[in-house]
Amino acid sequence: MLIYCPELSSRLKYVLQLLLKDLLGINYKVTDLPDEFIHFDGPKISYSVEAIEGSTFLEASGLLFEHQIIDQSTAIGEVFLWKKLPVFYQTSKKSILPFDILSSTFYLLSRYEEYLPHEKDEHGRFSSSASLAVREGFLERPLINQWALAFAEVLKELFGDQIHIKTTEYQFIPTIDIDNAWAFKNKGFRTLASFFRKSTMEERNFRYQVLRGNQADPFDHYILLKKLFKEKKLNPVYFFLLGKRSQHDRNVSPNNKALQSLINDIGEDFSLGIHPSYRSNEDCDILEEERGTLAKISGQEITRSRQHFLKFELPNTYRALRAAGIKEDYTMGYPDKIGFRASIAHPFHFFDLENNTETDLLVYPFQIMDVSLQQYMNLSQDEAILRIQQIIDETKAVGGLLMVLWHNESLSEWKQWKGWSSVFKEMLDRAAN
């Protein structure tokens, strides 16, 4: 397929690669030469503000030809339905689509709205309530994947067997964040002293039984997890928090031999990633130090990361990750809601909007987190399973990548997590089927 566009911008190239090649498997070429386009004998589309007479026309809104970051509310206009899908950047009746699918995809994928003035939560994170997806009610839909499949139907109607479309296949990757490797074991004196000040007599007795070896540590479920993942032939990623102790970073010291042994044991079977500490967002040297610590302990090159507290800010955090040698980031999701933060169920490269440049950092968005379900959304176990199933169904329907974020703590059956280990096991059964 040949795509004509009067300006071959980096934004245009980025979104064409994702939409046509990555999601639909279409071989295409793009040109800015009108003569080449006119004389091409094969399926072709002109993407521009004005149509080339006699050509198949996809009207451009102009976003992909801009070089600055400006408010898009007027250009986006009203969100309306096409093929039962929410769409925006409306086009004229001359266009083969009633909306500019390329600009819409770029707006959501680049996280354009996160560069504009927006509401932040108590941790300085972009608030989900500020997102177009939440305001318009499509957060729990992989909208870009859905657009791609609907666009494929239009292309088939236009060009028939002249184009070959190969859609993506469903995948499932569970991920585990290790914020606290153990509840009581291998903890320093200060942590235990704090526990004694805040705990009940029953909790103190429970801790005593754990330390005596009469009771398993409630956060120690690593053998069970390995068994479950092996049985279902899953390839999880484990993220370890190794930052120095602070208000929000409270894991076991990376100097602890038991933690080092745990990291090496898990690393023999599964992928490892760094869980950059809360403090690392303010100091790039801390990020590099923590990544280096995990690399030294594991003897592996560490190229994966997920921010602790899901704390990141575009573009600064992603620039820091790249500078530290990180190739894949798994932070793209909201703490307080489940769904598709970037409106896609597929990995994509981070586009640095300030520099108008596609980067080599591959972003793996997740859709479901245990803390979101239990603490933020206040769902019961049965309600959580129903909501999880809805996300699974949406992802399978588009051949997308389902990624879930769980903590070893939420398998503990302790305190607020009582009953939630069954939610995890049920989720694995349904997602891995």
Q: Are residues 242 and 287 in the same domain?
A: yes
- DSSP percent split of the chain into helix, strand, coil, nearest 5: 40, 15, 45
Q: Please say whether the beta carbons of 120 and 310 come within 8 A.
A: no
Each residue's pLDDT tens digit, 380-429: 999 999 999 999 999 999 999 999 999 999 999 999 999 999 999 999 99
Q: Are residues 175 and 142 in the same domain?
A: no
In whole angstroms, give the CA distance from residue 115 to residue 135: 17
Give the pLDDT score at 249. Answer: 80
Q: Is residue 116 part of a domain?
A: yes
Does pTM surpass 0.85?
yes
User: For the residues of 184-223, what is the DSSP string, one character each?
Assistant: STT--HHHHHHHHHH--HHHHHHHHHHHHTSS--TT--HH
Q: Please say whether the beta carbons of 33 and 76 come within 8 A.
A: no
Per the structure, the complete domain to which residue 410 belongs is given by 171-183+218-432
In whole angstroms, give the CA distance from residue 68 to residue 226: 48
Number of domains in the chain: 2
Pairing of strands 357-363, 237-240: unpaired
- Provide block-wise average pLDDT over 10 residues at a time, the chain (433 residues): 97 98 98 95 96 93 97 97 98 97 98 95 95 98 98 98 97 97 80 59 79 88 97 98 85 95 98 96 91 98 97 96 97 98 98 98 98 98 98 98 97 94 98 94
Give Cα separations from 404 to 177, 206, 370 (angstroms).
11, 31, 8
Q: Which residues lie across from 407 on neighbouring strands?
A: 177
Q: Are residues 385 and 293 in the same domain?
A: yes
Q: Is residue 210 part of a domain?
A: no
Q: Are residues 234 and 310 in the same domain?
A: yes
Q: Are residues 131 and 242 in the same domain?
A: no
Task: Kindly report the average pLDDT of the chain as a whole number.
Answer: 95
Return all residues near 158 (Cβ < 8 A) that are at least 6 apart. Answer: 43, 56, 96
Q: Are residues 342 and 368 in the same domain?
A: yes
What CATH number has the domain bearing residue 428? 3.20.20.370
